Amino acid sequence: MQAKNLNGGQELICINVDKVYDWVINERGFDYSPGEVDFTPVGSVPVDGENPFDGATLTCEVEPSDDPIDILARDDRPFVIDGTPVTLQQLNIRKNFDVTLFITLADGTVLTSETQSVQRCEQVTLCAPEGTEVEITYTDLDCFVCTEVFAVVDPGEDPAAGTVDLTGTIVTINTCQSIQSTYPVTVEFLAEFCEPRDVLPTPCPAPIRPDQCPVVFPNGNNG
- The C-alpha atoms of residue 22 and residue 96 are separated, in whole angstroms, by 22
Q: What is the pLDDT of residue 91?
A: 96
Residue 187's DSSP bridge partners are: 15
Amino acid in position 183: Y
- The C-alpha atoms of residue 184 and residue 187 are separated, in whole angstroms, by 10
> Out of 98-112, 133-147, 193-207, which region has the weakest mean confidence (pLDDT)?
193-207
Taking every pair of Cα atoms in the chain, the longest distance, rounded to a whole number of angstroms, is 116
* Global confidence as pTM: 0.72
* 48: pLDDT strictly greater than 60: no
Q: To the nearest whole percent, how much of the chain has pLDDT over 90?
A: 51
81-114 per-position pLDDT tens digit: 899 999 999 999 999 999 999 988 888 888 899 9
* 142: pLDDT strictly greater than 90: yes
Q: What is the pLDDT of residue 186?
A: 96
Selection from 216, 39, 68 nearest residue 141 by Cα: 68
Residue 133's DSSP bridge partners are: 182
What is the strand order of the sheet 170-192 is part of?
Answer: 10-32, 170-192, 133-147
User: Cβ(12)–Cβ(3) under 8 Å?
Assistant: yes
Q: What are phi and psi of 217, to 5 degrees?
A: -150, 140
